[in-house]
Structure 1
């Protein structure tokens, strides 16, 4: 997660105790995440809007070409991440958040708008940001469900904008110029992920 749209610096979010994660268990939507699939850019996502103070309204791809997907890890729980995105004082958002246990996808910012996720304005304007619940040093959060549902989402984004499904165009936050982030970290299985994106 990156703070604001321009600078590489970020406010470290307090890390709460990790929740037990069980792959394949479908969890009910909490009040903070409950949303409709109506009008989402990705039909399997649930609309859970971020505060309008935390992203820039735009008309992408006419205003800015979309040619990247940036993969993030929240360093927070799923529910807390949504709460942060809905807080107008936080100055941070991503387009999507994927829950660890079951791969539930929340869309928080429309793809035509510019989410503040990369800490680099140029990369924010040209990318779709996908957050994944978990911590970079806790690979148990990277469940089969999370990989599968996230890969299907990324494949959909790539198909809709003509983005090649490769590591040049699907990148980690750590690869954004000027970042101080390490996510998705050494436990993220890029080979598996890119294979799943190409199979979706």
Structure 2
């Protein structure tokens, strides 16, 4: 899928005073509520969905030893405002000074891992949140819900469920948040068209097997 020509710039759509209004409009959904009608399933084999290692430049994250050095307590949902390919190029540019741990492609839900989970990705615009979170970028634009495809939701939910199971993070809206909800941010993603109720239900349908 290719974006329409002359798309608004990433920063133009993701910044501004609308951030506070968007955060206030988000409807909380606890893991109990999300899982009330969901039938839990355990994916066959492995502890994570398939991912492709496409490393970000070392200038866009901090080497660390998580969760020993910092606890991992939150998953932050982002929207790229770029194509999948262009997002990966930005993460490989040392001048970009930002990267997320994962990027999910719209067309088929393919997942790229760009920063290892033990390292601190510069994705949230808040150092404290960076140290304690995993960032997942989703290909698309916040004003165009056609980018939020079934495969994107499904594969991202598998990934988020695996992260939550690995670090024992509750699968609820207090711990799975949008970039807009990070204190001090000027971004509004994932935006009003992101289906939080659907996403949390998908996350709560899955239970990955992790040792320990």
TM over 0.5: yes
Q: Deviation of residue 12 (structure 1)?
A: 3.0
Distance 1:52 1:141 in 2: 29
Q: Deviation of residue 13 (structure 1)?
A: 8.4
> Of residues 77, 82, 99 in structure 1, which corresponds to 2:83?
77
Higher relative contact order (CA 8 A, sep 6+): 2
Kept in 2, the 8 Å contact 1:91–1:116? The answer is yes
Kept in 2, the 8 Å contact 1:78–1:98? The answer is yes
Kept in 1, the 8 Å contact 2:121–2:130? The answer is yes
Select the structure that is richer in helix: 2
Kept in 1, the 8 Å contact 2:55–2:113? The answer is yes
Query: 4+ residue runs of structure 1 moved beyond 6 angstroms?
Result: none
Unaligned stretches of 5+ in structure 2? 1-9, 14-46, 207-212
For 2:149, the equivalent position in structure 1 comes to 143
Question: Normalising by structure 2, what TM-score?
Answer: 0.75
Distance 2:141 2:112 in 1: 18
Distance 1:87 1:116 in 2: 13
For 1:36, the equivalent position in structure 2 comes to none
Alignment of 1:138-177 (within 5 A): 138-177=144-183
Question: Normalising by structure 1, what TM-score?
Answer: 0.80
Distance 1:135 1:141 in 2: 7
The answer to whether residue 108 in structure 2 is matched with residue 90 in structure 1 is no
Number of residues of Structure 1 aligned to a counterpart in Structure 2: 164
Q: Deviation of residue 58 (structure 1)?
A: 0.1
For 2:70, the equivalent position in structure 1 comes to 64
Q: Deviation of residue 63 (structure 1)?
A: 0.3
Q: Deviation of residue 179 (structure 1)?
A: 0.5
For 1:127, the equivalent position in structure 2 comes to 133
Kept in 2, the 8 Å contact 1:13–1:76? The answer is no
Question: Which SS does the other structure have where 1:106 is aligned?
Answer: strand
Unaligned stretches of 5+ in structure 1? 1-10, 15-40
Distance 2:106 2:48 in 1: 18
Kept in 1, the 8 Å contact 2:65–2:119? The answer is yes
Larger Rg over CA atoms: 2
Question: Which SS does the other structure have where 2:11 is aligned?
Answer: coil
